[in-house]
A and B are shown apart, each in its own frame.
Chain A
Amino acid sequence: MNRITECLIVAASWFCGIVLAGSIFCILGYLFFKGAAAVSLSLIFGKTNPIDAILLRKQVFNGIFPAIAGTFSLVVLSVALAVPAGLASGIYLAEYASDRIKKILSLFFDILAGIPSIVIGLFGFSLAVFLHKNYSDRIYPCLLISGISLAFLVLPYIIRTTQVALESLPKETRLTALALGATKLQNIFYVLIPQSLSGIVSGVILAVGRCAEDTAVIMLTGVVASAGIPKSLFSHYEALPFYIFYISSQYADTQELLNGYGASIILLFLCAFLFLIAFAIQKRLCYQMLYRA
């Protein structure tokens, strides 16, 4: 009986693993099958010379370069806003908060994690309206508002992964530096954070993915179909997920739909590129903090 159960569990685990890997393979395969032909320099840069476009000497009209630039700046902005706050909250929860405060704050962060992104979008929109009415009529939905809203969206992931990574360190590791005369802060920065860096970075990567793909939030807070390269934090911008959504809902001919597939592939690569940057930063930090790779 026991042996049969064990075999069944192994078989079920294998099955689930294969289904998961298979579906990823199918989705990626489908995307590349449909879109690979559309990926070309002209998809990105239209008729503009790529070098001129990258150096911002000429505007790109018929390509998705502005959307790539928009998504890139959006991700960088919101992650830059969310990471410091998320790290600090995670460290506070894991190392300083009393059990009572931890319970209360955890409840709040769980609620924040459960808020649908469209509601966060509405929050961003209301924020923009509020600022517009009360402070300056030059403020309207823009890159900065989107960045702030997305930062709220991904904050819970970063807080949770930081907290869990720190809390799962063994007791012996916590006591090592303290027994050598480290203060609490020295212990956190010299031992605990370096040792839990891979966990923390996985949270940041989740956040990067979420910021890059989210459409609901940015639709309400400043993304538009055509704006060119974002000129400042207070301007409208284009974004890849919105471009994909826009094309797939109102394409005029097959070529345009294929462009949507092409843009999806580009979005995937953009995410992969951002993940690589996150890993490189982790490696570098790990090396600096622990003096080894």
Chain B
Amino acid sequence: MENKAIKITADSLYFYYQRQPVLENISTQFAEHCITAIVGPSGTGKSTFLTTLNRLWESIPGAKMEGKVEIRFEGQFRDIYHKSFCVNRLRRLVGMVFQIPNPLPMSIFKNIAFPLKLAGYKDKQVIAEKAEQALKRAYLWEEVKDRLEQDALALSGGQQQRLCIARSLVLEPEVLLLDEPTSSLDAKAGQVIEELLLGLKERCTIVMVSHYMDQVRRIADTVIELPAIRKQKQL
């Protein structure tokens, strides 16, 4: 880790959910092009911590955060909570994949193209190319290339999760946040995703919450353990 550049720094983060402290004085750094695993017993705010890196917690009622998060974009550290930083742009640069696969109820292709549509892409040729590229990076292209117009919800759980990863990759984010991406899948589907993440290291900085210590040993370059500050689970 020492010889790799720092991509994200979080400085004295405090997080409250309905006035209950979830994170207390967390300061940590994430190296570029590494897989950093966040571990710890449940209820220590690991998932919450991920949402402070793409400001997604702001859409959750009752949540409150203090502290500073800086991410290096184009060689410069930027405070992602600064007024001048557009939150939609941030979320295009910092992708997120959830614990339970969440494809939208539309076709496979429309799912992949959805972030492009949100970002205002109009050219069908460009959209098709980017979608194909993202599906290839998520190891899904071979399985779905002949049925892109089919309903995404008809895919298996593992395929749905890879679709969600592809959907996050389509905008070529610099950071990818994953919240226990394999916990709802069987061992084999989980293994495919692990391999895929190892392959993605070259392009993105990956921050992953994981419960499985053997998974962490297999793929993580760095491990961060969040200290337990509460007795019971809040979020």
A contact set with B: CB distance below 8 Å: 171-183, 186, 190-191, 195, 290-292
- B140 interface residue per 8 A CB criterion: no
| Chain B positions within 8 Å of A186 at CB level | 118
A-B contact pairs, 12 of them (CB 8 A): A172-B98, A172-B100, A177-B104, A177-B114, A178-B91, A179-B168, A180-B95, A180-B171, A181-B88, A181-B171, A190-B114, A290-B105
Cα separation A171 to B59 with both chains bound (whole Å)? 10
Whose C-beta in chain A lies nearest to the C-beta of B102? Answer: A176
Q: What is the CA–CA distance of A78 and B56 in the complex, to the nearest angstrom?
A: 41
With CB as the reference atom, state the residue of chain B lying closest to A170: B102
Starting from the known contacts A173-B102, A179-B98, 13 additional A-B residue pairs (CB-CB under 8 Å) come to A172-B98, A174-B59, A175-B59, A176-B98, A176-B102, A177-B118, A180-B171, A181-B119, A182-B88, A186-B118, A190-B117, A291-B106, A292-B105
CA of A175 to CA of B168 in the docked complex: distance in angstroms? 13
How distant is the Cα of A179 from the Cα of B93 in the complex, in angstroms? 10
What CA separation (Å) do A173 and B101 show in the bound complex?
Answer: 11
CB <8 Å contact, B167 and A180: yes
Q: Which residues of A contact B100 (CB under 8 A)?
A: 172
CB distance from A199 to the nearest CB of B (A): 15
Residue with the highest number of chain B CB atoms closer than 10 Å, among A181, A182, A183: A181
CB-CB under 8 A from B95, the residues of chain A are 179-180
Q: Given the complex, which residues of A lie within 8 Å of B54, measured CB to CB? A: 179
The reply to whether A179 and B106 contact each other, CB–CB distance below 8 Å, is: no
B119→A179 contact, CB < 8 A = no
Q: Are B56 and A292 in contact (CB under 8 A)?
A: no
Most B Cβ at <10 Å: residue of A183, A195, A290, A291: A291
| Among candidates B89, B106, B151, B168, residue contacting A180 with C-beta atoms closer than 8 Å | B168
A176 to B107, CA, bound (A): 16
Q: Given known contacts A186-B118, A190-B118, A292-B151, is B104 in contact with A176 (CB within 8 Å)? A: yes
Asked whether A183 lies within 8 Å of B107 as measured between CB atoms, the reply is no
Which residues from B are CB-within-8-Å of A190?
A: 114, 117-118
In the bound complex, do residue A181 and residue B96 qualify as a contact, i.e. CB atoms below 8 Å apart?
Answer: no
Interface residues of B in 65-94 (CB under 8 A from A): 88-89, 91-92
Nearest-CB residue, chain A, relative to B93? A181
Q: Is the pair A181, B59 in contact by a Cβ cutoff of 8 Å?
A: no
* Chain B residues whose CB sits within 8 angstroms of the CB of A176 once the complex forms: 98, 102, 104
Residues in A whose Cβ lies below 8 Å from that of B171: 180-181
B83 to chain A, nearest CB (A): 16
CB distance from B81 to the nearest CB of A (A): 16
Chain A residues lying within 8 Å of B89, measured Cβ to Cβ, are 181
Which residues of the partner chain A approach B151 to less than 8 Å between Cβ atoms?
292
Nearest neighbor of A183 in chain B, beta-carbon distance? B88
Name B106's contact: one of A181, A182, A290 (CB within 8 Å). A290
B118 touches A180 (CB 8 A): yes
Q: Which of B59, B91, B92, B104 contacts A290 (CB 8 A)?
A: B104
Candidates A175, A179, A180, A195; contact of B105 at CB < 8 Å: A195
Whether the Cβ atoms of B92 and A179 lie closer than 8 Å is no
Task: Answer whether A179 and B118 are a contact pair too, CB < 8 Å, given A173-B102, A290-B105, A292-B151.
Answer: no
B175 shortest CB reach to chain A, Å: 12
Inter-subunit contact A181/B98 (CB<8 Å): no
Task: Confirm or deny: B110 has a beta carbon within 8 angstroms of a beta carbon on chain A.
Answer: yes
Is B56 touching A178 in the complex (CB atoms < 8 A)? yes
Q: Which residue of B lies closest to A290 (CB)?
A: B106
Given the known interface contacts A186-B118, A291-B110, A292-B151, the answer about A178 and B59 at a Cβ–Cβ threshold of 8 Å is yes
B166 shortest CB reach to chain A, Å: 12
Residues of A close to B106: CB separation below 8 A: 290-292
Our pick among A172, A180, A195 for the contact of B91 (Cβ within 8 Å) is A180
Q: Which residue of B lies closest to A179 (CB)?
A: B96
Known interface pairs A177-B114, A181-B118; A172-B167 also in contact (CB < 8 Å): no
Among candidates A175, A191, A290, A291, residue contacting B56 with C-beta atoms closer than 8 Å: A175
